[in-house]
Amino acid sequence: MTRDRDAADSPGDGTAGRRPTIIDVAERAGVSKSLVSRALRGDPGVSPERREAIARSAADLGYRPNSAARSLVRGRSGLIGVVLNEIGNQHHTEIVAGVESRAAQLGASVIIADGAGSPDRLSDRIETMLELRVDGLVLASSWVARADLERAGRSTPTVAVSRLIDPPSSVDTIASDDVSGAAEATRALISAGRTRLGYITTSTSPTSAARVAGVRSAAEGAGLAYEVFELPPQRAGRAEVAEVLRGSGVDGVLCNNDVTAVTVLAAARQSGIRVPDDLAVIGYDDTRLCLLTDPELSSVDQPQRAMGERAIDAIWERANGRARAVREDFPPRLVLRASTGVPGIGA
Amino acid sequence: MTRDRDAADSPGDGTAGRRPTIIDVAERAGVSKSLVSRALRGDPGVSPERREAIARSAADLGYRPNSAARSLVRGRSGLIGVVLNEIGNQHHTEIVAGVESRAAQLGASVIIADGAGSPDRLSDRIETMLELRVDGLVLASSWVARADLERAGRSTPTVAVSRLIDPPSSVDTIASDDVSGAAEATRALISAGRTRLGYITTSTSPTSAARVAGVRSAAEGAGLAYEVFELPPQRAGRAEVAEVLRGSGVDGVLCNNDVTAVTVLAAARQSGIRVPDDLAVIGYDDTRLCLLTDPELSSVDQPQRAMGERAIDAIWERANGRARAVREDFPPRLVLRASTGVPGIGA
DNA sequence: TTGTAGGCGTTATCAT
DNA sequence: ATGATAACGCCTACAA
């Protein structure tokens, strides 16, 4: 039920009258609008007196530049767009910190949109960003349709901070090295004496697929078998995980993220499975949750902040002529804690 | 296969040449630019043939409207801005869901900015939103300076979804009723037989202050004493909380959020304090964490989504003439679980 | 149904 | 140092 938006035109504006423009400022200061433009932007070549008068006039009027007008004439918006797969996902939001800090150095403002985990929404948000003429676009999602990637890459420097299957060459990609991250974690399980390995995930993303590959390589390298458990997000509660655990004889498990790992911990406790004695557990992302569990949770840390910073650099490079695509994998870091037992000592 | 539109290429443009405008679309379709404008916006009064030709022309060219130009001429941006105190804070991000869904009904796009917990950054982000001429602004933070609130309220319909001290009348405020939420939680502790009550928080926000008031009212109503523990966020780890717990003889504690509550659980376990036998614990926000702890965590749920929706409605009302400020408190809901023992039965 | 002509607020290029 | 003035891309009366 949409509301009627074209209510009788002018009556009731809510906020005050017309917003002051550069012209209002100019009149009040008794100068031309060009001079106001220069003064307000801090251009050199404006006499101190004028500058002063203009500043006061602007302040009195509560003048604020209209970025639409500016963007239109300059051909650049000064905006960096970030589209997140899911604003509630900590892995994605941490990338924003890196993006923000680097963008600030370039004098750009960062605006964020939430894809709410849906490809349609993602597509829509990307379109909005492109219409806004962002000077660069950061995509933190593995679920962007290829057509949308191409469209974005064609319009503005675009970098995906996530693992993509066969990304178009117009889009740069930055990810952490999921294969080696998962492999290293798996090797840690193995060197803790685990022989019945498992990977449990609540996602079917390319990221997760890469981690499966990492688990496989490490397991096969040690001549061990491994099992993969895929739980749909809605069916990934403590009970479901407990069931999975009971069915399999797994004694060492890597999880797709820390929340899943905490769920495994809870399920194990409920099922009388001791951690790490009966089951070693490793999470992914190294969130602060890891320090709040009992036992504390081992986890694979990803350098989200550095990846976010790199994304902005890549955008800058594209804007300045680079044509070849960036394809970078950042090395993750395994953080061992009690949930895998004492490092180096088997069970 | 000719995609070269500008032979004289400046040394490295990155993406293709000039972006197509409504004029390019018009020429290619052999019509005037006004007709293109109408057709593309779905205005009635355009012959089917023209409409078709224009659509094809636009598609061929990869045309995309420039929202700066549109915003400039229409006087509205079609944008709703949301400034979050901290993009990593789940309480704040959940408000976004409500904002998004209602904004979509109004045909507005939502853009988000992150205040990173700093008043300066918040101020800066708000300014960016105002320069963008957002049609409405949602502030999810208790830390916005009053000057910024006034500035925003003067420029565009603004609503703070958070507790504010003495908000300006130009800003609408929506919050959950923290006093009653905390009071109800405290009464639950009392009726579970707890007599040495506590409130532990990692924040000094007005929100937290309101909850203290709720705890006080319930405690005093029952003739019981209570203690308030304030831990700075950096010093709110398991160890610090354990120390606090040991020092006091508290047997029933309300926490400012679920993460703090989980920390309390971890600290209690470490200190040999049994939950709920020795200590009853209640969190705030009712995040999914609550189901992953042992024992499961009682918590106070806030209707973030409804608050987000209401924010958009309030903006709409302001835009349509309402002058009086909205001051609304949404009722929270206490969810009892094992961390407070069986409801209704004392320890 | 279609086209013409301003104008939105700003920047930037010319003059002066 | 300052001021006209022409864009920027789009929408919208007003004409035809």
Nearest to A295 by CA among A250, A247, A336: A336
State the amino acid at position B252 in one-letter form.
G
Model confidence at A8: pLDDT above 70: no
| Distance, CA of A75 to C1' of C13, in Å | 16
* pLDDT recorded at residue B13: 37
Asked if B67 lies within 8 A of A111 by C-beta distance, the reply is no
Helix or strand holding residue B128 (H, E): helix B119-131
Q: How far apart are CA A329 and CA A296, in angstroms?
A: 28
Q: Is B191 on the interface with A (CB under 8 A)?
A: no
Q: Is B114 on the interface with A (CB under 8 A)?
A: yes
Instruction: Kindly report the three-state secondary structure assignment for every residue of A245-308.
Output: HHHCCCCEEEECCHHHHHHHHHHHHHCCCCCCCCCEEEEECCCHHHHCCCCCCEEEECCHHHHH
Q: Of chain A residues 293-312, which have a beta carbon within 7 Å of strand C?
A: none
Model confidence at A6: pLDDT above 80: no
Q: Is the separation of the CB atoms in A285 and A90 below 8 Å?
A: yes
Helix or strand holding residue B139 (H, E): strand B136-140
Say whether pTM exceeds 0.75: yes
Mean pLDDT, residues A36-48: 96
| Distance, CA of A165 to C1' of D3, in Å | 57
* pLDDT recorded at residue B16: 52
Mention every residue, 6+ apart, whose C-beta is less than 8 A from residue A313: A102
Asked if B15 lies within 8 A of A155 by C-beta distance, the reply is yes
* pLDDT recorded at residue A343: 60
Asked if A113 lies within 8 A of B112 by C-beta distance, the reply is yes
Q: How do residues A233-290 score in pLDDT, each as one tens digit? A: 999 999 999 999 998 999 999 999 999 999 999 999 999 999 999 999 999 999 999 9
Q: How do residues A187-216 score in pLDDT, each as one tens digit? A: 999 999 999 999 999 999 999 999 999 999
Q: Is B63 on the interface with A (CB under 8 A)?
A: no
| Distance, CA of B229 to C1' of D13, in Å | 66
Q: How do residues A119-172 score in pLDDT, each as one tens digit? A: 999 999 999 999 999 999 999 999 999 999 999 999 999 999 999 999 999 999
- pLDDT less than 70: residues of chain B: 1-16, 343-347
**Out of B14, B114, B320, closest to residue A100 by CB:** B114
* pLDDT recorded at residue A346: 44
Asked if B97 lies within 8 A of A77 by C-beta distance, the reply is no
Q: How far apart are CA B314 and CA A61, in angstroms?
A: 27
Model confidence at A79: pLDDT above 80: yes
State the amino acid at position B122 in one-letter form.
L
Asked if A270 lies within 8 A of B294 by C-beta distance, the reply is yes
**Out of A68, A289, A322, closest to residue B71 by CB:** A68
Q: How far apart are CA A281 and CA A254, in angstroms?
A: 6
* DSSP three-state, residue A200: strand
Give, as ranges, the nucleotides of chain D with any atom within 7 Å of a protein CB. 1-5, 7-13
Mean pLDDT of chain A: 93
- Return residues 264-283 of B near A (CB < 8 Å): 265-266, 269-270
Q: Is B110 on the interface with A (CB under 8 A)?
A: yes
A35 touches strand D (CB under 7 A): yes
Asked if B11 lies within 8 A of A292 by C-beta distance, the reply is no
Asked if A294 lies within 8 A of B11 by C-beta distance, the reply is no
The conformational region for residue B212 under phi > 0 = left, psi -120 to 50 = alpha, else beta, is: alpha
* pLDDT recorded at residue A86: 95
Q: Is A3 on the interface with B (CB under 8 A)?
A: yes
Q: How do residues B293-323 score in pLDDT, each as one tens digit? A: 999 999 999 999 999 999 999 999 999 999 9
Rounded to 5°, the CA angle A262-A241-B94 comes to 55
Asked if B77 lies within 8 A of A68 by C-beta distance, the reply is yes
- Return residues 24-53 of A near B (CB < 8 Å): none
Q: How do residues A83-110 score in pLDDT, each as one tens digit? A: 999 999 999 999 999 999 999 999 999 9
- Return residues 64-83 of B near A (CB < 8 Å): 64-69, 71-72, 77
Q: How far apart are CA A224 and CA B255, in angstroms?
A: 45
* DSSP three-state, residue B283: strand
Q: What is the tally of helices (H) and strands (E) in chain A?
A: 12, 12
| Distance, CA of A154 to C1' of C3, in Å | 33
Nearest to B254 by CA among B207, B214, B198: B198
